[in-house]
Amino acid sequence: MARRVLHGIPVAAGVAIGRAYVLDRDWFARAAYHAIPPEAVPQEQARLRQAFASAAAELGRLLAAVPEDLREHAAMVQAHLLLVQDRKLQDQALAAVAEGINAEWALERTLAGVEATFAAVEDDYLRARMQDVRQAAERVLRILVGQAQVASMPQRGVLVAQDLSPADLVEIDFAKVLALATASGGKTSHVGILARSLQIPAVVGIEALDSALAGELVILDGFHGRLLVDPDEDELARATELAARFDEYQAVVLRSCHLPAETRDGFRVQALANIEFFEEVVAVRDLGAEGIGLYRTEYAFMNRATPPDEDELAEQYLDLASLMAPHKVVIRTLDVGADKLVPSLRQGRESNPALGLRAIRYCLRHRDLFRTQLRAILRASVVGNVQLLLPMISGIEELVEAKKFYHRVQQELAAQGIPFREDMPLGIMMEVPSAVMTADVLAQEVDFFSVGTNDLIQYTLGIDRTNKDVSPLYQPLHPAIVRSIKWIVDSGHQAGIEVCVCGELAADPFCVPLLLGMQVDSISLNPRSIPSIKRLVRQMTLEECDALLKQIMSSQSVASNNRLVREMIYRRFPEELLFSVSLLGEEGGTV
């Protein structure tokens, strides 16, 4: 293939050179219909039976390989195994083959029939089960068309996919993934968040990414958002050198990661970690985090057939609290909805999911689930320093309602003689514009604020954070965003409560000086960015950050804000910039 450069959005730092491995989902198209003559029917049926058996064997192997500490993934694999072993699906497909239809099409037709039955069912939960049936059948279909498994990436390479969902994690062997390239995704979609926490260079939203790339030598440049196909000698040499310099830089940064994030003139900000999986806790400590500022608990509900129960959650939260003690662990209640789908929960289809029954709204609608989680968090509060965080609060009524329910759950525990910390700090995510506008009111009701800039930008600017077409409009330094954060911090401090910033903006070297200027109490970021951000803080002064903030607060456009910040950072920290990935993007972006 001829040399070419594909452009996308850089979301995780690093450079990788390797062969492209395309996660092919187009194989569906190859499952086309063809007629089977009567004499070939037994052979075709044998092929179908064999595919079911191979799928079961594959799932059996996967199940055995799920590590003990990821056992929540096992339940989903188990559910798929039961489905492919279930005779009903197979028998119906075999009967279709007997009518003279090829195995692939027979299976598709059977599936369509099951889907039609499910569609007529009123119950959202049962309808969601259809997803499991489809995924299990797709495995059989994939074997029929001769498509290899994702997990069997033959060697280390650059994984190229149209899309990658959190659920895909179960099958991908990340030890073999040198870098990630996807066609979909925006600046703060979850694939980027994941890539950063796994320290895998990544570019998302790549135009013209297709399966013709399979097997090609590529350079993925996670700093500049480029995928170079069939690079020349010079490009290979430059990429190798850049990768080596990045490794050196990281080693240097890592050595000082346990020093505090304190400016040269003595202003100290706490550097906390955002985590998605319990297993990240070890890395978090090694990377110099002073606590966990955001535990995205919804990930523990994904990839399993049934939600975890109270005992399982309490055990996990307790482990986390004791491993991190005396540091704090901020546990956010379920933030399901929008792009975070949890198959084991009842999530109906919504035409506008980011504005739908998401996060606290979902929990207030499904009180049993909310109660289970609150009880588990309360039970864990007797150890270390656990704090409770409610996502997506949009106004005082919603907050009061959530608190009322929380107090009822506290009373239930007390009546049962189960110990908990009565004054466990309770905070809210500030990520919806209506909450921002009423920050002074909300501050009276909580112990801390945590600013979720990923959603705050999405909702304030009206930009879907996962949509690459509007990605240039996703501007963290839009005056509306800077003013919003400043207002939240000031309102919090006025009321005597602490303010943390936990969106991706807190990991962006261009944005951190402004957060320091505002004197936020803590920042919470993906663990891998902690060492370099702490180092940056140690090289700055509060005085210069304050001066920059003053300039920004009186400026009126994204372009001038980006310019002011860039000038300061380029002048003062050229090295940090070479190796960082920023949300800023092009000057003053428009689509």
Determine contact, residues 553/486, Cβ cutoff 8 Å. yes
Closer CB to ligand PEP, residue 227 or residue 432? 432
Q: Is 304 in the site for ligand PEP (CB under 6 A)?
A: no
Residues in contact with ligand PEP, counted by CB under 6 A, come to a total of 10
Cis bond upstream, residue 326 (ω within 30): yes
Beta-carbon contacts of 182 under 8 Å, excluding residues fewer than 6 positions away, are 160, 161, 162, 163, 164, 191, 202, 203, 204, 205, 206, 209
Stretch that binds ligand PEP, among 215-223, 407-415, 448-456, 563-571 (CB under 6 A): 448-456
Site for ligand PEP in 325-364 (CB under 6 A): 335
Q: Which does 453 bind (CB under 5 to 8 A by kind): ligand PEP, Mg ion, none?
A: ligand PEP
- Exactly one of 73, 80, 190, 327 is catalytic; which is it? 190
Q: Is 166 in the site for ligand PEP (CB under 6 A)?
A: no
Rounded to whole angstroms, what are the CA distances from 389 to 296, 406, 429?
Answer: 10, 12, 7
Q: Which does 226 bind (CB under 5 to 8 A by kind): Mg ion, ligand PEP, none?
A: none
Closer CB to ligand PEP, residue 187 or residue 379? 187
- Exactly one of 257, 502, 511, 545 is catalytic; which is it? 502
Closer CB to Mg ion, residue 10 or residue 452? 452
User: Quick one: angle between helices 479-494 and 453-461, nearest 10?
Assistant: 130
Closer CB to ligand PEP, residue 168 or residue 235? 168
Q: Is 427 in the site for ligand PEP (CB under 6 A)?
A: no
Q: Is 454 in the site for ligand PEP (CB under 6 A)?
A: yes
Q: Is 190 marked active-site?
A: yes
Closer CB to ligand PEP, residue 55 or residue 523? 523
CA 135/CA 157 separation, integer angstroms? 25
Residue of 186, 452, 527, 531 that binds ligand PEP (CB under 6 A)? 452
Shortest Å, Cβ 355 to ligand PEP = 14
412, two tokens:
């239930």
Rounded to whole angstroms, what are the CA distances from 311 to 11, 95, 319, 320, 333?
Answer: 36, 45, 12, 14, 16
Closer CB to ligand PEP, residue 77 or residue 520? 520
Nearest to 170 by CA among 219, 135, 201: 135
Shortest Å, Cβ 338 to ligand PEP = 8
Q: Is 280 in the site for ligand PEP (CB under 6 A)?
A: no
* Closest chain position to Mg ion (CB): 455
Which helix (DSSP H) or strand (DSSP E) does residue 314 occupy? Answer: helix 310-324
In the chain, count of helices (H) and strands (E)? 21, 16
Q: Which does 108 bind (CB under 5 to 8 A by kind): Mg ion, ligand PEP, none?
A: none
Collapsed DSSP state (helix, strand, coil) of residue 404: helix
Which helix (DSSP H) or strand (DSSP E) does residue 340 occupy? Answer: none
Binding mask 128-157 for ligand PEP (x = CB under 6 A): ------------------------------
Collapsed DSSP state (helix, strand, coil) of residue 157: strand
Determine contact, residues 346/381, Cβ cutoff 8 Å. no
Shortest Å, Cβ 14 to ligand PEP = 21
Burial state string for 145-172 with b = 16 or more CB within 10 A and e = fewer than 16: bebeebeebeebbbbbbbebebbbbbbb
Q: Which does 503 bind (CB under 5 to 8 A by kind): ligand PEP, Mg ion, none?
A: ligand PEP
Assign residue 305 a region: left if phi > 0, alpha if psi is -120 to 50, beta otherwise? alpha
Q: Which does 460 bind (CB under 5 to 8 A by kind): ligand PEP, Mg ion, none?
A: none
228, two tokens:
């170079």
Closer CB to Mg ion, residue 270 or residue 453? 453
* DSSP state, residue 443: G
Residue of 159, 228, 499, 502 that binds ligand PEP (CB under 6 A)? 502
CA 167/CA 178 separation, integer angstroms? 20
CB atoms near residue 469 (< 10 Å): 10
Residue of 431, 536, 579, 588 that binds ligand PEP (CB under 6 A)? 431
Q: Is 453 in the site for ligand PEP (CB under 6 A)?
A: yes
Q: Which does 293 bind (CB under 5 to 8 A by kind): ligand PEP, Mg ion, none?
A: none
CA 42/CA 50 separation, integer angstroms? 12
Closer CB to ligand PEP, residue 503 or residue 509? 503
Binding site for Mg ion (CB under 5 A): 431, 452, 455
Q: Is 276 in the site for ligand PEP (CB under 6 A)?
A: no
Q: Is 484 in the site for ligand PEP (CB under 6 A)?
A: no
* Interface contacts to ligand PEP, rule CB under 6 A: 294, 296, 335, 431, 452-455, 502-503
Q: Which residues are identified as catalytic? A: 190, 502
